[in-house]
Amino acid sequence: MRYILRISSKKRKILSLMSITYLFFCSLFLYCSTPTYAQDRRIVTEPSLPHTLCGTYTPSSSASLQSALDSCPEGSALHLSAGHFESGPLIMPSGVFLWLDQGAVLAASTNPARYDQGKNLCGTIDRHGHGCRPFILFSQTSGGGIFGPGVIDGNGGQPMADTDETWWHLARRAQYEEGKQNIPRLIVVQDAQNITFAHLTLRNSPNFHVTLDHVSGATFWDVRIDTPEDARNTDGIDPGSSEDVTITHSFIRTGDDNIAIKAGRNGPSRYISVLDNHFYAGHGMSIGSETFNGVSHVLVRNLTLDGTTAGLRIKSDSSRGGLVDDIQYDHICLRNNKWPIMLDTHYDPHAFGFDTPRYRTISFKDVYGAGGILLMHGIDDSNPIDATLYNVTFSSSAAWDLQYVNITENNVTPALREPNAQPQMTQNPCATQWVPFPASPPEK
């Protein structure tokens, strides 16, 4: 057990005895009464559908689904009845909700031509990989969203039209050929605000399931994302350059990051809450790899990670780095992870650039796991990872791999340095937290 209090000699001359005592007890217990802002600034409650319906869309409807959506006024919802609906790309009007009823399956077309952006690239491999429109697009909209309990199916495992190759096979072939696959994302939200997804199942996306780009205000409540673990580049939810985002009561298993918070050239990502969720197959609760404009004020609380390759992960490098600051992990349960904690500033070991990754004020409180590698690699002596660990407990088979770190710790197992006696966890507080992935909703 070790407590670290760092006060410069100059400050010691200034601080009174009372101030030093106060600072000591704050460092002892790691959390003072100072308010924290590491979370969504909105008051988020369970979303509900608008009272106004603009119509019901059935398998026998003569108009296209896009036309039906376009006819809805702001603040209303289009009801998709039970049944199987196949569609090409859809653009959501501002303030309009799509309600998929029990037994409704909205399936994405497998025809690359319907997603093409005019250069005949969708469904091919090239050097860039931006040749497809998404299946569902929110762009420059305010309000609106998608509700369940129905399903949106991206058909990633189905053969593309007139071929024997699926979207996922194309993605894997692109990896072997060192190219980029032109494949549609399932849902893209860009330059928008106050978007809601609730009680919804997303499955089999060809590529990322949901991406946010320059979004202010987004709620994901009881969203189930279900895609095979070998489906390449199928991230669950990726907030990028966005703020005031809450992801809660959701279940995610996929073939890449379960969640990845990014901050590309469009601005920072901040004020994000990830609360009361369960992750299964995937690459974990990630921040990065793009952190150019900074990621800050993130709260991850009450999360289970059951079988993710990495658990709590921050990844970047000198070609895409930036400041990652004020990240709080609170009450986290991990098992069957190769890297339960992975804070890496050398995500691409061959990267070169001047965008230095800096990880500051990273807090781990009540984190419990089994075996695996607990990795924290800062970039150099002048930019160590600054982390606080309080009640962080893993089994004796776990091992720390630390480089360029500045850690304040209290009750950490295994010990960060060779101990005289290794403390043991007498009771596993995660024993009742594990739940199976929910069964798929029945189709009518």
pLDDT in tens, 318-361: 999 999 999 999 999 999 999 999 999 999 988 889 999 999 99
Distances (CA, A) of 257 to 178, 217, 238, 434: 20, 21, 8, 20
pLDDT of residue 422: 54
Give the tens place of pLDDT for each residue, 280-290: 999 999 999 99
At 63 the pLDDT is 95
Backbone angles phi, psi at 157, to 5 degrees: -95, 5
Q: What was the pLDDT predicted at 366?
A: 97
The reported pLDDT for the residue numbered 3 is: 31
Q: Report the mean per-residue pLDDT for the chain.
A: 90
Reply yes or no on whether the pLDDT at 291 is more than 60: yes
Residue 8 pLDDT > 80: no
DSSP β-ladder status, 125-126 and 180-181? antiparallel
Q: Which of 40, 116, 153, 256 is catalytic?
A: 256
The alpha carbon of residue 75 and the mean position of all alpha carbons in its chain are separated, in whole angstroms, by 28
Q: Decide the pairing of beta strands 285-291 and 259-263.
A: parallel
Could you tell me the residue ranges of all domains in the chain? 1-34
**Residue from 79, 169, 214, 283 carrying the catalytic annotation:** 283
Q: CA 256 to CA 174: how far, in whole Å? A: 16
Q: Is 116 a catalytic residue?
A: no
pLDDT at 212 over 70: yes
Confidence check: pLDDT of 192 > 60: yes
Per-residue pLDDT at 428: 78
Answer whether residue 37 shows pLDDT above 60.
Answer: no
Query: Comparing 7 with 19, which gets the higher pLDDT?
Result: 19
375 pLDDT more than 90: yes
Question: Given this model, what pLDDT does residue 104 score?
Answer: 98
Can you give the pLDDT at residue 442?
Answer: 59
Taking the CB of residue 17, how many other CB atoms lie within 10 A of it?
Answer: 7
pLDDT in tens, 383-432: 999 999 999 999 999 999 999 999 999 999 999 976 655 555 556 799 99
Strands (E), 378-416: 385-393, 398-403, 405-413
Q: How many CB atoms lie within 10 A of CB 106?
A: 23
Band (pLDDT 50/70/90 cuts) for residue 149 is very high
Compute the distance between CA of residue 237 and CA of residue 220 in angstroms, rounded to an integer: 9
Q: Give the residue-averaged pLDDT of 305-329.
A: 97
**For residue 278, which phi and psi values (nearest 5 degrees)?**
-130, 125
Q: Give the span between the Cα atoms of 318 and 108, in whole angstroms.
A: 38
From the list 35, 28, 161, the residue with the least C-alpha distance to 88 is 161
Residue 9: φ, ψ to 5°: -65, -35
> Tell me, what's the pLDDT at 417?
77
Q: How far is Cα 163 from Cα 83, in angstroms, rounded to an integer?
A: 27
366 is catalytic: no
Task: Say what percent of the chain tops pLDDT 90.
Answer: 86
Q: How confident is the model at residue 14 (pLDDT cuts 50, 70, 90)?
A: very low
68, 57 in Cβ contact below 8 A?
yes
Write down the pLDDT at residue 7.
Answer: 28
pLDDT (0 to 100) of residue 420: 52
CB 184 within 8 A of CB 115: yes
pLDDT value, residue 34: 35
Q: Using one digit for the tens of pLDDT, what is the confidence trace for 168-185? A: 999 999 999 999 999 999
